[in-house]
Structure 1
């Protein structure tokens, strides 16, 4: 496998119900992760970028969170319906999606 140009980390951190920080998993992080993997497989994008599930990325109350490197762009409040746009616009088109960016106060 060639070295990917970009790497996507999808937070899937679980926490107990009622935890004060909340968790990306409880807010749909697993659905976001599955949507990325489904899109990669369906569109045969294995050599374009890598997708990895991760633990906590920081701003739990804003999740689910997705972090894209090498740019270091954090997307927050991501839903499975946002995944195609992240792939098309950012990962393939090199255009950051401003409406999904985490607030500067947290990232």
Structure 2
């Protein structure tokens, strides 16, 4: 595979219930990952972009978190229904989805 245009990391970190930092898995990040997998398949993005699940990428209390490189754009509070917008606007159109972008004091 040639170098991907963008690399999408979806946090699926799981911590025990009651952990002070919480975790993205506790707020449905596995469903977000599944939505990205389906969207990559639907839009045939496998040869263009790279998708990976990852452990903690930072803002646990604001998850699920999705990080897009090379821009280093962090999306927080992502729901499965937000994935289509991220794919259409950011991955295909090059436009950041501002309503999901992490605030500057967070990332």
So what's the TM-score if we normalise by structure 2? 0.96
Match of 1:83 in 2: 83
In 2, distance between residues paired with 1:39 and 1:104? 28
Match of 1:2 in 2: 2
Match of 1:65 in 2: 65
The structural deviation recorded for 1:34 is 0.8
Matches within 5 A, 1:7-86: 7-86=7-86
RMSD: 0.8
2:26 alignment partner, SS class:
coil
The structural deviation recorded for 1:2 is 2.1
In 2, distance between residues paired with 1:84 and 1:2? 24
Q: Could you give the per-residue CA deviations for residues 38-70 of structure 1, whole angstroms, max 9, x where no partner exists? A: 111122211121110001011100000000000
In 1, distance between residues paired with 2:42 and 2:93? 18
In 1, distance between residues paired with 2:52 and 2:64? 14
In structure 2, list runs of 5 or more residues that go unmatched.
Answer: none
So what's the TM-score if we normalise by structure 1? 0.96
The structural deviation recorded for 1:89 is 0.1
The structural deviation recorded for 1:105 is 1.1
Runs (4+) of structure 1 moved beyond 4 Å?
none
Match of 2:101 in 1: 101
In 2, distance between residues paired with 1:48 and 1:104? 28
Question: Number of residues paired by the alignment?
Answer: 107
